[in-house]
A and B are shown apart, each in its own frame.
Chain A
Amino acid sequence: MVTFNDAVADLLGVDGFSPLVEFIVGIVGASIVVSVMLTIIGISAVWLKRKWNARLGDRIAVNRIGPAGLMVMPADALKLFSKEVVVPEGVDRIGYKLAPMLAAATVLAAFAFIPFGSGLQIADPETGLIFALAFASLSAVPVVMAGYSSKNKYSFLGFEREVAQAIAYEIPLVVSALAVVPLVAVFADTSAPLRMSNVVTAQQGPLLGVTGLPIPNWFIFAQPVAAVLFFVSILAEFSRNPFDLPEAGSELVAGYLTEYGGVNFVLLFLAEFAAIYFGGALFTALFLGGGSGPVLPAVVWFLGKTFVFYLVVQWFRATIPRVRIDQLLEFGWKYLLELTFLNLLLTAGILWVVL
């Protein structure tokens, strides 16, 4: 697989670009990815979420503005952006204003490493997976900034929870993701198994040992335990139900978001939804074969899978109660951590025996 720049170069029939052109093309690619993601997030944050939740709860949800209520998106955006930006008295102004921008920026930047397929990948460094996971952890920083600078006790409790949670679930997240790396090395036969494009390439063929049925070689089948552990860690890392403690609505009002409104709120809100999609994209790339699938172009498959991931997350949100902070930490440190390491060791052991 190739990065966006290579794909463009291929298309134009040139061997490569000068650094300046490379930069410009990179910017173009980034803006394409960002606008695609923003559209998707816009759709899901204000429309799909309502529709899907309504469906789970036997309701109809938005259906007045435009066909199936789709025009609620521009309406909502207009409303939110036209709101006055209120900065409460006594807040740490720099942190308070910087946090939303940082939150949106880090999450959107993380999409650079995601191999959307069809040549849509901005950067594909040799350590792409590690970069992506590093950006995932970075999402806790703006939350801390927002919570601390708000000078509100609910925000304070929210960010404290976020810190505890991010630390507890960081290691399981990385380790469960690492469980696929040996498989990548084997299936893609590469010396750079952390490269995101290689991770996807490794999942293209049919699964070993299964004849007849064309079960794809997605790592969710080869590494089901890791997939479940990774899914749980993603939920916790990005604070989704049942781990949405930093903003637990019924306890902390809105957690670290309490003091935000207008554009600042939009950015934080957007970052949250982008984080779910980033989690979904990581999960798709690592366990669902990236853009692999018949007929349709790879990028459509990829985005489709992330949508499914999003729907599942919302489904969980509607059905599963929020855990308590001590239960969350206990689960993270006492069970998830051990299980992920055990899984990694088992994977390595089995591969060592087999090969």
Chain B
Amino acid sequence: MSVVTRRHEELHETIEDELPDAILDFDEHHNAPAVVANPSRVDDVVRILKQNGYNHLSSVSAVEYDNRYESVYHLRRITDDREDFDEINVVAPADPDEPAVETVSDVFKGANWHEREAYDLMGIRYDNHPDMRRILLPETWKGHPLRDEYDVDQPQYTTLEAHANPIEERYEVENDAALDTMFLNIGPHHPATHGVLHLKTVLDGEVVVDVDPDIGYLHRCEEYLCERLDYKYQIMPYPDRWDYVSAGMLNEMAYARCIEDLAEIDVPEYAQVIRVLAQELSRIAAHMLAVGTFALDIYGELNVIFMYAFKDREIVQEMLEDLSGQRLMFNYLRLGGVAYDLPEPRDEWFGKIRGFLDDLPGKMDEYRSLLEGNELLRKRAEGTGILEPETAKEYGCTGPVLRGSGVGYDVREVDPYGYYDELDWDVVTYDGCDNLSRVLVRLGEVEESARLVEQCVDILESWDGDREIQSRVPRSITPPAETENYTAVEGAKGELGIHIVSDGTEKPHRFKIRSPCFSNLAVFSELAEGEYLADMIATLGSLDLVFGEVDR
């Protein structure tokens, strides 16, 4: 009996002992065992699990069935020890007419936004939730669009009264203290928001007293779309559009991993190596952009780091274009492999990559002397936007944001997939917990990705076996009804998870995207409050948000 299995059995006993009336059943999901909890006691169940080491709430997903709604919580253990990694799911079935579930936002603060999303899109009400508002859609929206009964054609009329400025009321001057502060709308169109984010900020002089991010301006119904497309081919072009700034390969891998796991599709080794190569190139490009735009936020519009970073990103994108046919919207991965073999002539393409890898150390030195070595930048970025590791875990932050706080959680490391296990690389962590650390993690990861790319190129160059790029995949993929799977990969911004619930057809019944940016943005107000306005902007840059992924 493995460690994990034994732990699960002990856990069953613990939960049953401590909360006999809170547990309805035990279930088995494809990725992990599931605890079916009484919807009004789900917070106690999650609390017990948290006490037992499940310290990371990946996502909260809402699913509709014929006779019930379900609120599904995906919990993970984050430890430095890979053996200790483990997942567990909690399911809270809710009444079909008036779905209501107890909130877990007092156990995991990160659940706050996830539950708001579930409420917004699926209409599950979370009792005792501190802030049960819509999050992606406007507050005047009618209906919950992911429900089956929702009529997409219904007009969304908004009366003039309903459209009265909701902010005016909320920030009314109530006392003398409020007279000293200024309310400032930053965004949705503001140079520093890297897209469309609206920050409702209250300033006391130059100091941020309160900030409330308002998201959803780039909501494109990605989940809804994927639920209407078939598993085999049609979904694959869409992941490219979640985190659309060059992280496409990583997003495609997130989908590929989930469905390959669910439908039990094997991937030939050769294709796996190509996948890792493509993914790591993608990661380099995405991190280059992150570093460049962070510099843009601190320096102002005419800085050179941004230019150098974009130049290097461009080289990577050209390689990806040669490989996949597009610069950003790759659509390169297929279930069971990849779309094409490496571009011919292979040597020329390998030469391109090797040329880039040879130049990279010199370029990284330049970035380091411009960013890490520059005292003025250190003065700005060091000690600002402090994210304590405990807070980060509480909110479900992942990726470079979490690793910048000294927690070495990397999905590639703890829950390995593809070919990563065969290769030699390290997880980069810095424990400064500040803006600079997060940027340095990204610089470090560019170097680690370069190491991985180099190893892949070595393997591919000396490959003398069969170049099988795709395994034989059944003509149509129909996972059995009511099976669920949640898997995650390490995207450019962190744990990018996909939760698929199947209904026995070729299309998913529920397709939930666990976006790392979403959770990373949820922690933003903790980071920004008490900082100067300028540091708030820098912090926003250091979180590296892509709104295609936040709003989906």
Contact = CB atoms under 8 A, between A and B. Distances in A.
Interface in B501-552: 532-535, 537
Contacts of A156: 182
A253 B190 CA distance: 6
A319 B303 contact: yes
Contacts of A320: 299, 374, 376
A324 B300 CA distance: 12
B302 A157 contact: no
Contact of A322 (B300, B304, B307, B370): B300
A248 interface: yes
Contacts of A249: 191, 300-301
Interface string B176-202: 000000101000001110000000000
Interface in B336-394: 370, 374, 376-377, 379-380
Contacts of A57: 304, 306-308
A322 B377 CA distance: 8
A338 B184 CA distance: 36
Contacts of A244: 300
Interface string A242-280: 101100111101000000000000000000000000000
Contacts of B296: 250
Contacts of B537: 250-251
B298 interface: yes
A89 interface: no
A250 B376 contact: no
Nearest to A153: B184
B206 interface: yes
Given A58-B311, A250-B537, A324-B534, A318 B379 contact: no
Contacts of A326: 206, 532
Interface in A31-59: 53, 56-59
B306 to A, nearest CB: 8
A16 interface: no
A241 interface: yes
Interface in A139-163: 153-154, 156-157
A313 to B, nearest CB: 11
B297 interface: yes
Interface in B117-164: none
Nearest to B185: A153
A155 to B, nearest CB: 12
A58 B534 contact: no
A323 interface: yes
A248 B296 CA distance: 11
A321 interface: yes
Contacts of B380: 321-324, 327
Interface centre among B303, B374, B377 (most CB of A within 10 A): B303
B311 to A, nearest CB: 6
A317 interface: yes
Contacts of B532: 324-326
Given A251-B533, A251-B534, A323 B376 contact: yes
Nearest to A242: B376
Contacts of A314: 302
A56 B304 contact: yes
Interface in A298-323: 314, 317-323
A201 B206 CA distance: 46
B535 A324 contact: yes
B191 A318 contact: no
Contacts of B535: 324
B304 A250 contact: no
A156 B302 CA distance: 23
A248 B297 CA distance: 10
A256 to B, nearest CB: 15
A355 B304 CA distance: 49
Contact of A153 (B182, B303, B307, B377): B182
B192 A251 contact: yes
Nearest to A53: B302
Nearest to A325: B206
A250 B191 contact: yes
A318 B308 CA distance: 12
B301 A250 contact: yes
Contacts of A319: 303-304, 370
Nearest to B376: A321
B300 A323 contact: no
A12 to B, nearest CB: 48
A57 B370 CA distance: 13
Contact of A323 (B184, B192, B306, B379): B379
Contacts of B298: 250, 321-322
Interface in B255-310: 295-304, 306-308
Contacts of B206: 157, 325-326
B379 A327 contact: yes
Contacts of B308: 57-58
Contacts of A245: 534
Contact of B300 (A58, A153, A317, A327): A317
Nearest to B307: A57
Nearest to A320: B376
B304 A241 contact: no
A165 to B, nearest CB: 12
A63 to B, nearest CB: 17
Nearest to A323: B376
A155 B206 CA distance: 13
B299 A248 contact: no
Interface in B430-470: none
Given A242-B376, A319-B304, 15 more contacts: A56-B304, A59-B307, A153-B182, A157-B184, A157-B203, A157-B533, A241-B299, A320-B376, A321-B299, A321-B303, A321-B380, A322-B299, A324-B535, A325-B534, A326-B532
5 contacts: A156-B182, A249-B301, A322-B380, A323-B380, A325-B532
Interface of B: 182, 184, 190-192, 203, 206, 295-304, 306-308, 311, 370, 374, 376-377, 379-380, 532-535, 537
Task: Rank and list the top 4 A-B pairs by shortest CB-CB distance, nearest first.
Answer: A57-B307, A250-B192, A57-B304, A321-B298
